[in-house]
């Protein structure tokens, strides 16, 4: 068991070290910050590997998905665990499990068929030029839908783990059912709620195929959510294995993977800090 635990502990460091080793030629070269990390020019044939547009697009798409996902997941979890009849609860749990097992490429196809045309109509109505619908907003919607089953399952387990005595105490003190849920139950499990959404965001950051199919794959910093983008996972999926004869091209792609890993680690770190802060306040 200790050996298995050691493998789990070493694995993230091994992944990070291997990515750093492969990206070292571009990391150790001059102009890492000005030309690579904060550079906007992606022209591998000319030796320009600006990753800033990819980083910005990844953050915007993930935050868009998070804004769409949080209210849906929280409201659905409350309804399923606190208000829904038993037969509805069983049916919804089955539907959620089915959604969780759908491959991401299916979500991508659904996005192309449904979401992209809708966004194209909205963008055209809003006065956007060349509104194809392939945009960071479409990618955010697809990410939210693909992540909802994952997060919703965790939230349902959290709400179901709360003792019914808390509900009975709140009702006995004259509070309504909704007041008891809002002021007692949610506060009791808010650490778990934050952790659930943190894991959902980490999953959203790494979503590749579904995002790649609807985001447009244009290297630019989007001026609006209706503009096309190009996140880090799509960059890796589209380009790794091609044109490896170009100097530092492989290193630039490995650096993009390392940046993606660092972003997820930092986000989880700050989320755990927030959880610890609320835990200390509640204790």
Domain boundaries, the chain: 58-231
pLDDT surpassing 70 at residue 277: no
In this prediction, residues 270-282 reach a mean pLDDT of 69
The CATH homologous superfamily to which domain 58-231 belongs is: MetI-like (1.10.3720.10)
C-alpha 101/C-alpha 146 separation (Å) is 10
pLDDT band at 238 (very low <50, low <70, confident <90, very high): confident
pLDDT surpassing 80 at residue 231: yes
142 three-state secondary structure? helix
The pTM assigned to this predicted structure is: 0.86
Q: Which two tokens stand for residue 95?
A: 């539907």
In this prediction, residues 140-157 reach a mean pLDDT of 91
pLDDT band at 278 (very low <50, low <70, confident <90, very high): low
The DSSP-derived string for 60-83 is HHHHHHHHHHHHHHHHHHHIIIII
Point out which residues pair with 229 in neighbouring strands.
Answer: 216
Q: How many separate helices (H) and strands (E) can be counted in the chain?
A: 13, 2
Per-residue three-class SS string for 177-234: HHHHHHHHHHHHCHHHHHHHHHHHHHHHHHCCHHHHHHCECCCCCCCCCCCCECCHHH
The DSSP-derived string for 236-274 is HHHHTTSSTTSTTHHHHHHHHHHHHHHHHHHHHHHHHHH
In this prediction, residues 235-241 reach a mean pLDDT of 81
Each residue's pLDDT tens digit, 68-123: 999 999 999 999 988 888 898 889 888 998 888 888 889 999 999 999 999 888 88
pLDDT surpassing 90 at residue 141: yes
C-alpha 191/C-alpha 204 separation (Å) is 20
Check residue 73 and give its pLDDT. Answer: 93
Check residue 1 and give its pLDDT. Answer: 92
Non-local (6+) Cβ contacts of 150 within 8 A are: 100, 199, 200, 203
Check residue 243 and give its pLDDT. Answer: 61
Backbone phi, psi, residue 181, to 5°: -65, -45
Average pLDDT, rounded, for the chain: 86
């Amino acid at each position: 068991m200790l050996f298995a635990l050691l493998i789990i502990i070493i694995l993230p460091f091994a992944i990070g070290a291997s990515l750093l080793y492969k990206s070292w030629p571009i990391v150790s070269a001059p102009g890492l910050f000005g030309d690579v990390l904060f550079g906007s020019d992606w022209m591998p044939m000319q030796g320009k590997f600006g990753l800033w547009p990819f980083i910005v697009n990844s953050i915007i798409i993930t935050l868009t998905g998070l804004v769409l996902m949080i209210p849906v997941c929280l409201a659905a979890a409350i309804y399923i665990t606190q208000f829904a009849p038993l037969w509805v609860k069983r049916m919804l749990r089955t539907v959620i499990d089915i959604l969780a097992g759908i491959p991401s490429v299916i979500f991508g196809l659904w996005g192309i068929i449904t979401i992209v045309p809708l966004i194209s109509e909205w963008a055209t109505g809003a006065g956007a030029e060349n509104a194809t619908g392939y945009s960071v907003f479409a990618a955010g919607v697809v990410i939210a839908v693909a992540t909802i089953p994952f997060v919703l399952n965790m939230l349902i387990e959290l709400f179901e783990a709360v003792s019914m005595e808390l509900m009975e105490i709140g009702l006995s003190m004259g509070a309504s059912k909704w007041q008891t849920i809002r002021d007692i139950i949610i506060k009791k499990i808010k650490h778990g709620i934050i952790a659930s959404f943190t894991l959902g965001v980490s999953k959203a950051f790494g979503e590749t195929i579904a995002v790649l199919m609807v985001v447009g794959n244009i290297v630019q910093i989007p001026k609006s959510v209706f503009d096309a983008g190009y996140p880090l996972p799509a960059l890796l999926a589209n380009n790794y294995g091609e044109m490896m004869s170009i100097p530092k091209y492989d290193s630039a792609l490995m650096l993009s993977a390392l940046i993606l890993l660092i972003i997820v680690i930092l986000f989880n770190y700050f989320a755990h800090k927030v959880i610890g802060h609320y835990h200390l306040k509640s204790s």
